[in-house]
Amino acid sequence: MELYFLGTGAGMPSKERNVTSIALTLYDERGTMWLFDCGEGTQHQMLRSPLKASRLEFIFITHLHGDHIYGLPGLLTSRSNQGGTTPLVLFGPPGLESLLEPVLRLSQARLSYELTYREIHEGTVYEDDRFEIGCELLDHRIDSYGYRIVEKDKQGKLDASRLKELGVPAGPLYGRIKRGEIVELPDGTIVDGAACIGAPIPGKKIAILGDTRRCGAAVRLAAGADVLVHEATFDATLDELAQTYYHSTAKDAALTAASAGAKSLILTHISSRYQEDEVTRLLEDAREHFDDTHIARDHWSYTIG
């Protein structure tokens, strides 16, 4: 499971950073990829990356500002030309479908796959036997959501040494015991499968937030997360400006991570005023309050766990 940053800039692209788009690769878990936001030029960034649009399963949009959605028409149509045939689900705030459908219709875009829209509201937006994804409304100029991705706990490992002590012969009985069944051995010994399986393996927790000022919803979404991805548009000296434009400073992001008990923090959505080594100001601001902080850059990846 890996985060791959296709765009890490704020508002508009710069020479160093494209606008927001983050991929979560789940190749081992389900053979697919999820995308969070899709700013203008995302399809170009993907061409320069190891990612393939054909493997997209879900796209999650945090809010309807242009630097988070203007790349959708191009990416959706290019996916057809790049061999994408599997269904794609687009999650987003109210208004996303009415904004996007006229563009696809008037441009006579032909999609080779089924595209489904799912309008999000606070609460669980998707759940299966492996993952649960929820969202909450953040504090921004327009409705902006943060997502919490929770991988459900996995079954513990079979205690092979314990089975050997009990004299369980290798073969089909191992499978039954792994399912937690109670089995009887040829000599009459009763083995409780549940007692031969280790503790559940905790799943990973990830929080990916849209644009926001510091707020309680961000802390709840990031509670105990393995990694929090948080905007850091400004440095701490521009706190008043951040408040005025409903954005966060790097310090705000760090305080949120610390309050939430997150393990790692990744800063993104960086203003174009911070070019080259100037981004170290953001990192220094954040690390005063949260040590395990990283600053994302375009085409940088982070392995979770």
- The residues annotated as belonging to the active site are 67
- The answer to whether residues 18 and 45 touch, using CB atoms and an 8 Å cutoff, is yes
d(CA 271, CA 289): 21
Is residue 63 part of an annotated ligand binding site? Answer: yes
Q: How many CB atoms lie within 10 A of CB 24?
A: 22
d(CA 134, CA 148): 5
Closest by CA to 23, choosing from 61, 48, 51, is 51
Is residue 153 part of an annotated ligand binding site? Answer: no
Is residue 28 part of an annotated ligand binding site? Answer: no
Q: Is 201 exposed, middle or buried (0-12, 13-18, 19+ CB in 10 A)?
A: exposed
**Residue at token pair 């000599």:** 187
Is residue 285 part of an annotated ligand binding site? Answer: no
d(CA 145, CA 129): 24
Q: How many CB atoms lie within 10 A of CB 238?
A: 16
d(CA 182, CA 241): 64
Is residue 68 part of an annotated ligand binding site? Answer: yes
Is residue 230 part of an annotated ligand binding site? Answer: no
The alpha-helical segments, DSSP class H, found in 39-181 are: 42-47, 66-69, 72-81, 96-106, 160-166, 172-178
Which segments are annotated as binding site? 63, 65, 67-68, 140, 211, 269
Which segments are annotated as binding site for Zn(2+)? 63, 65, 67-68, 140, 211, 269
